[in-house]
Amino acid sequence: MPQNRENGLRRTYQKNWPAIAAAICMVWVLSLAPAVRADHYAGEFLQVAVGARALGLGGAYCSLTQDGWGPYWNPAGSAYQERVELSLMHATLFDLAQHEYLNLALPLPNRATFSLSWIRLGVDDIPVFPDPGRTSDGELRPVEEWAIDPEEFFNDSEDAFIFTFAKMINVNLDLGWQYFVVPLKIPVGLNLKYIHQSLGDASATGMGVDLGAQLGFGMDRLLDFDPLGDFAAGLNLQNIGKTALSWDTETRHRDHIPFNLKFGFSYLQPLSAAGTEAIFAYDRDTVYGGKNHFGLEFAYRNLLALRIGAEGKELTMGAGLHIWQLNLDYAFISYSLGNIHRISGSVSF
């Protein structure tokens, strides 16, 4: 850990109680993982999920994404985008951190897509208070006596710029039976990530790679039973080779973002010919001991959607509205330290 970060952590214990509570929120909630040594969670801001639809489904989105949130959940999903699309999200987390996501997708010839994404998590004006000192009995002075005027302020900003290339591959699977040819959709995608973090006057940079794939086919064609719907599976290899972040401090310390294997599946069951359908999805992450994600969505006539999900032990809910080329989504996530509301949207041209 860089020397400047070590000093910053020592000073954390000298902050007033609101600042301490804010630090707890950052570690326990934003990382969504047990509190352990900070160097085990390099690049942890990338674990703070984006996209209200995915959040409403409990994060079970690896096999479902076909939109501007694909670079985060599975870059292969970007291959489904056949129009120029802009996706946006802004959130203020616990009145402490600003969380941003921006994605611009550009379709290319031959069922390929290029997109550029930006993710940012930032906390501004973090106060640093003087040493509290001790009383004649050797006890620390009460907070109200020394936590009055901060000596200085510093900022924490963490940015990731993601360049995504995705390609749709269509295969007709001949099962050898009469009339049994099953069309398969196999999109694949690649993320190249440039990461920049700064904490006070120290900064770090690094490059990372993600590789994703999906498989989709109709159960109606496979089992020759028209009422059945579509099955999809997804796989995302995140931070292949453990993405390294190199700090510009004297020690030239390097943090490593751990590799994560994200995989999942989903099933879409049509309920009417007018676009009413139900979707069940499951995902699992293997990083930090692993976590399961479950999601259920009911969509009415491609217009309105209601969602419920579970992310580990946390309950999520959400809703979506589709009007012409505009999608608006809302998610509610209940944590033990508080609730989070997220709104995101996308528009195609």
In a domain, 312, yes or no: no
**188 with 157: CB under 8 angstroms?**
no
In a domain, 143, yes or no: yes
For 101-126, give the DSSP string: EEEEEEEETTTEEEEEEEEEEEEEEE
Which residues constitute the domain of residue 210? 3-296
**Tens digit of pLDDT for each residue in 179-194?**
678 999 999 999 999 9
Cα 108 to the center of its chain, rounded Å: 25
Q: What is the mean pLDDT of the chain?
A: 85
Burial class (CB in 10 A: 0-12, 13-18, 19+), 302: exposed
Q: How many CB atoms lie within 10 A of CB 278?
A: 14
In a domain, 326, yes or no: no
pTM of the model: 0.82
Least Cα distance to 322 among 39, 30, 44, 53 occurs for 53
In a domain, 14, yes or no: yes
In a domain, 180, yes or no: yes
In a domain, 20, yes or no: yes
| Domain count for the chain | 1
In a domain, 167, yes or no: yes
User: Would you give per-residue pLDDT tens digits along the chain (349 residues)?
Assistant: 444 444 443 444 344 334 334 333 333 333 333 333 444 567 888 989 999 999 999 999 999 999 999 999 999 999 999 999 999 999 887 777 899 999 999 999 999 999 999 999 998 877 777 777 777 777 877 776 676 777 777 788 899 999 999 999 999 988 776 667 899 999 999 999 999 999 888 899 999 999 999 999 999 988 889 999 999 999 999 999 889 999 988 888 889 999 999 999 999 999 988 889 999 999 999 998 999 999 999 999 989 999 999 998 899 999 999 999 999 999 998 876 678 899 999 999 9
In a domain, 321, yes or no: no
